[in-house]
Amino acid sequence: MNYPNGQKRNTATKQVIKPLSTHYGNRGMSLEKDINITNTYYLQTNRAVIHKKPTPVQIVDVHYPRRSAAVIKEAYFKQASTTDYNGIYRSKYIDFEAKETKNKTSFPLANIQDHQIKHMEAVLQHGGICFFIIRFAANDETFLYPAKYLLMDWKHHLKNGRKSIPYHRIQQNGVLIPFKFQARVDYLSVVDRLYFK
């Protein structure tokens, strides 16, 4: 058979098509990349407007080897950031933090800063939806963990010194987020169940 341009098709080489994996483990994507892809899909389908917050940085020194190739040599964080993502969904403000851990049995509270706790408390006080998305990389599981439970865990941490949230507690009070092709971390399907009954 000839191609439309008149050239002959090379029939000697066969194209090998790899079967799609039925297990999504070790996808090679970080949680943040998966969420960014999901948010782009939500935006394109007009489901929600949710973006990653830029980290405020003060650039101090830039090297210009040539006009088109500037290299930042020194920079500092201007202020402590609050949470990773915010936006609007179904007329409600949404604010959340995304964290990934290699730990199999618990989520370390050292991953959370005091100013983030204060920010989440303020969001909840003003009627916003606030939560954590926690991925247990070893288990290949991603949970939506409501901020109200995280704040309780934080208060217990301050009182009795527990330095992590046990995995079973996150299973009990959180919701496993389904993995989908376009909405890789389809957290809005969980938000619908928890906050828009």
Q: From CA 145, how far away is CA 133, in angstroms rounded?
A: 6
Contact 141, 135 (CB under 8 A): yes
Bridge partner residues of 28 (DSSP): none
The amino acid at 42:
Y
Please state, in angstroms and rounded to a whole number, the distance separating the CA atoms of residues 23 and 119.
Answer: 37
- Residue 125 annotated as binding? no
Q: Determine whether the annotation assigns residue 84 to a binding site.
A: yes
Cα(94)–Cα(92) distance, rounded to whole angstroms? Answer: 6
CA-CA distance, 100 to 44, in Å (whole number)? 26
Rounded distance between C-alpha atoms, residue 133 and residue 184, angstroms: 13
* Parallel/antiparallel/unpaired status of strands 106-108 and 129-136: unpaired
22 annotated as ligand-binding: no
Cα 49 from Cα 101, distance rounded (Å):
27
Q: Is 142 flagged in the annotation as binding?
A: no
Euclidean distance between the first and the last CA atom of the chain, given in angstroms as a whole number: 58
Binding-site residues from annotation for Mg(2+): 82, 84, 97, 116
Binding-site residues from annotation: 82, 84, 97, 116
